[in-house]
Structures are given as structure tokens and as C-alpha cells.
Amino acid sequence: MNIHPVSFGHPDVVKLNGRVQLEYAERYGDEGDVTPLDPAMFEPPQGLYLVVYDDQGTPVATGGWRSQDENIHGYTDGDAEIKRMYVIPEARRRGLSRLVLAALEDDARAAGRTRMVLETGTEQPEAISLYSSSGYEPCVKFGHYRFHELSRCYAKPLATGQQTAAPTAISERKTATVENSHR
């Protein structure tokens, strides 16, 4: 698999975000995630957006993080918020979500962020399982959906000097392609 840092407005990101929005709408019976997002939020060093491509060059997974600091939406100083983690159904159960998650954590840590946070929902048990098994714990709700009954928020401290995956060009904040044989 190849992981590429890209802009949030990249055509493959737009395509995969369209697919995840459809899945959100199916699971929750609404229009999908309406959290306000600006592509600039994911630009280094304040964030990062990744696309995973399979060996044929097909985009199969995505995810990003954006910096957050204390504000009226419930964030705290040093937060890095995960957004739009998604693996297409045809590529699930290959470890791609863990690969993306580790790369995002490493990059946020390298950027000086101290805590990774995310919001998911009760209709995404796979996501809750992934995050719980990756060291994330329930936390005080934050963000756009903090008052929604189905919303669940999780956090994980980002210890400095600790890497969750092997060092990569991504965690060094380069824009080069990262080759990874993990499937």
C-alpha cells in the first residue's frame, strides 16, 4: 500500500469523502457529517490529510488530523482531531485503518500536539472497537456533535518521544510517497 499526504481538496479525497458521507447517511438516516471543514485546516504543520492507494493506484482509505486548542466547542490546548477516517468496504479487514491511525498519531506528535481526539457515533461499532483497541478512552464530548445523543468522543495522550509505527516520510513531514507492505 502507498500512503500519500494530499490536500483536503484533492479529487481522490473528494471521492472518498463522498463515499463516507453516504455511509454516514445510511447508518444515521440523515445527510451525513456536517462538521464545518476547511481544506486549510489540514495543511502542515497544523494538520495532515492522507490517502492510501492499493497496488493498482486505487484510493482505498483516507484520514486526516487538524489542530485544535481550547475553545467554546470543548477542545483543549494541544488537541489533534481526527477527521474522515474511512476505508472502502472492498478493502476492509486488511489493517488499513490502523496504518492510517498510526501515521496520523505520529505526524500529530511530531507537530507538537499532545492529545489525539475524535468523535464517532453509536452506529459505527467498528470505529469504536478500533479506537478502543488502539488506546483511546471515552472523554468529555467536544465539537460539532457534542450535544447529540448518538455521538461518542474519545481521546488518547500523545507521549512525546514515542512512535506507534516505524518512522516514515510522513512523520518527518515530507510529501514523498511512503511504501508500506502491511496489509
Question: What tens digit of pLDDT does each residue of 21-41 get?
Answer: 999 999 998 877 888 899 999
CATH number at residue 112: 3.40.630.30
Q: Output the pTM of the full model.
A: 0.86
What is the per-residue pLDDT for 31?
A: 78
Could you give the count of Cα atoms lying within 13 Å of 49 in the half-sphere of its Cβ? 21
**pLDDT, averaged in runs of 10, over the chain (183 residues):** 95 96 92 87 96 97 96 93 97 96 98 97 96 97 91 92 45 36 28
Please list, residue by residue across 120-138, b when 16 or more beta carbons sit within 10 angstroms of its beta carbon and e when fewer do.
bbeebeebbebbeebebee
Is the separation of the CB atoms in 74 and 33 below 8 Å?
Answer: no
* CA 175 to chain CA mean position, Å: 18
CB 83 within 8 A of CB 65: yes
Q: Say how far apart CA 179 and CA 40 lie, in whole Å.
A: 26
pLDDT at residue 87, as a whole number = 98
The pLDDT assigned to 133 comes to 97
Please, which residues bridge with residue 87 across strands? 61
| pLDDT at residue 179, rounded to an integer | 34
Can you give the pLDDT at residue 35? 85
**Predicted local confidence at residue 28, as pLDDT:** 93
* Residue type at 62 in one-letter notation: T
pLDDT of residue 129: 97
Count how many domains the chain has.
1
Parallel, antiparallel, or unpaired: how do β-strands 178-179 and 2-5 relate? antiparallel
The residue segments making up the domain with residue 137 are: 2-179
Amino acid 167: pLDDT: 37
